Amino acid sequence: MRPPVRARLAKLVPVRGWLLWLLREGELSSDPVAAMELPRADRVLPRHLLGPIELQRLLAEPDTGRPIGLRDRAMLELLYSSGLRRMELASLQMKDLDLPRRLLWVRLGKGRKDRVLPITAVAVHWLQRYLQEVRPRLVRPSTDPGHVFLGAYGRPLSLAWLSQIVSQHLRHALPGHVGSCHLLRHAMATHMLEGGADIRYIQAMLGHAQLGSTQIYTHVAIGRLQDVHARTHPRASAEDTQS
């Protein structure tokens, strides 16, 4: 039995990168991966998408009476507000925030592309509290890395640690649920689509190069589709069953 597509990709991508590096360094005379076609992974959503009530329970889970809890609340609110990827959140710099205008800059996101994102007033509120009350207590002024979110020793949070933080809050808020940072990204996209946002704006928020990457969310925004169907289809009324 062949291994799953994602498992094969996890092995092939590093090999291709290594061979391309050898080519650039002059160790190889020809491109050995010119004809290599990587398998295409299926685009899949999390097994469970958070509804508004579940989402609120997750966002409210951190203990904001504690410095680290306040930091975590700011992170969760920002992830849901902006749809940032985990790597984009980890690399977010102080200079990338424009809180008076409710904007943030993503520098060299996936595909090494920049984008500017709006963020909600709620996310701005928690970010301001974190930046005023907590970050100055975490950072060491002589070695300030400039990252927005820091660990207890003033260092940037690693990708693995970010996943662990979000997963832990999810387990506490919603026992039996699994997921991490991407769960909030998916929730933002789905809720915006259900709220009536044009899919092209969701594409811009998520930083997808191709609209096809975003169209996966049309499969889960069934609530709005049902509402539109019920209001517009000529045979949607129960009265039509009598004729």
State the catalytic residue, choosing from 73, 185, 186, 191. Answer: 185
**pLDDT 10s digit of each residue in the chain, 243 long?**
455 555 665 666 677 677 777 777 777 777 766 666 655 555 555 556 788 899 999 999 999 999 999 999 999 999 998 889 888 999 999 999 999 988 888 876 555 667 888 888 999 999 999 999 999 999 987 888 899 999 988 899 998 999 999 999 999 999 988 888 888 988 888 888 777 777 777 777 787 656 555 555 555 555 555 566 677 656 566 554 454
State the catalytic residue, choosing from 71, 73, 85, 147. Answer: 85
- 57 catalytic, yes or no? no
pTM score, whole prediction? 0.71
Q: Taking the domains of the chain in order of start, what are their residue ranges?
A: 52-221
Backbone Cα Rg of the chain = 22
Per the CB < 8 A criterion, the answer to whether 102 and 124 are in contact is yes
- 163, 168, 169, 173 alpha-carbon torsion, rounded to 10°: 140
State the catalytic residue, choosing from 107, 110, 155, 177. Answer: 110
What number does CATH give the domain 52-221? 1.10.443.10
- 95 catalytic, yes or no? no
